[in-house]
């Protein structure tokens, strides 16, 4: 359904058409049919996901946390189900040089109370050396458990940037599901809320009406790909979006002592 302003002269540039309430409600109701179909399809996909097979892992694979080396089975914290996020790591880099995408994902996963209430544990895995990781976790104020899995990635079938689900059966551990990229979005509440707004995420790939504001020109990010994508994940001290050397992942500016910087500090990927 395409609506037009009641009075064409009242149209506002770069904004939705202005209509009366009845016209808006009719358009809203039409979209709701599609939204409900989308929800039902999501339920059907989740049902299929629950029917996936699983792969047995070595539960004794060693990971390192605040109490030193422990077997992977300890990451379950006594529960039968476990979700982990495997965060990317740059060796030797200060906090502002760590991955902005992983920071974005993990900022939405700071409290697993409702997962725990359902009998599901949550932990963050990273391939960084524990001494560096511990300092970073303290700076960020993360309260959920982190573990270094350097060297154990093959045994645990986990990769950076992935959400991974595991199941425990006594002393046995199994991989049940893994996803990455936009598959991580169910954990990112901000994206779902932005998708409800008139301008959405303001990312370059969006299908927008003519005249809609696009992403700002913030320069090429490290790696040189997709400056308009996720441009708001890094800002400078004044809140301006930038991928330049004075930027940090946006959430870091909420941390005590997070001042302006002169370098991203990326000394090299752990690989």
DSSP H helices in 50-166: 100-107, 113-117, 130-140, 153-156
**What residue spans define the domains of the chain?**
55-180
pLDDT (tens place) for every residue of the chain, 271 residues total: 444 555 555 678 899 999 999 999 999 999 999 999 999 999 999 999 999 999 999 999 999 999 999 999 999 999 999 999 999 999 999 999 999 999 999 999 999 999 999 999 999 999 999 999 999 999 999 999 999 999 999 999 999 999 999 999 999 999 999 999 999 999 999 999 999 999 999 998 899 999 999 888 776 554 444 456 888 999 999 999 988 888 999 999 999 988 877 777 776 776 5
Collapsed DSSP state (helix, strand, coil) of residue 101? helix
Distance CA 123, CA 186 (A): 17
Residue 131's φ and ψ, nearest 5 degrees, are -60, -40
How much is the pLDDT for 242?
87
Please check whether the domain covering 55-180 is classified as CATH 3.10.20.30. Answer: no
**Single pTM value for the model:** 0.90
């Amino acid at each position: 359904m395409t609506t037009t302003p009641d009075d064409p002269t009242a149209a506002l540039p770069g904004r939705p058409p202005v209509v009366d309430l009845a016209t808006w409600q009719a358009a809203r109701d039409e979209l709701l049919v599609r939204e409900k179909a989308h929800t039902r399809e999501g339920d059907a996909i989740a049902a299929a996901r629950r029917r996936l097979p699983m792969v047995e892992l070595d539960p004794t694979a060693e990971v390192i946390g605040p109490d030193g080396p422990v077997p992977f089975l300890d990451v379950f914290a006594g529960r039968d189900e476990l979700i982990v996020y495997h965060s990317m790591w740059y060796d030797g880099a200060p906090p502002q040089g760590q991955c902005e995408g992983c920071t974005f994902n993990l900022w939405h996963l700071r409290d697993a109370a409702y997962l725990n209430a359902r009998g599901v544990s949550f932990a963050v895995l990273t391939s960084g050396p524990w001494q560096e990781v511990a300092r970073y976790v303290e700076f960020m104020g993360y309260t959920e458990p982190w573990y270094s899995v350097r060297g154990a990635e093959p045994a645990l079938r986990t990769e950076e940037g992935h959400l991974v689900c595991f199941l425990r059966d006594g002393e046995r551990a199994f991989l049940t599901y893994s996803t990455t990229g936009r598959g991580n979005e169910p954990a990112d509440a901000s994206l779902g809320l932005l998708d409800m707004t008139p301008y959405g995420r303001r990312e370059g790939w969006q299908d927008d009406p003519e005249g809609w504001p696009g992403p700002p020109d913030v320069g090429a990010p490290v790696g040189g790909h997709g400056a308009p994508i996720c441009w708001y994940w890094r800002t400078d001290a004044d809140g301006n979006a930038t991928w330049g050397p004075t930027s940090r992942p946006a959430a870091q500016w909420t941390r005590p002592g997070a001042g302006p910087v002169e370098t991203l500090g990326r000394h090299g990927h752990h690989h």
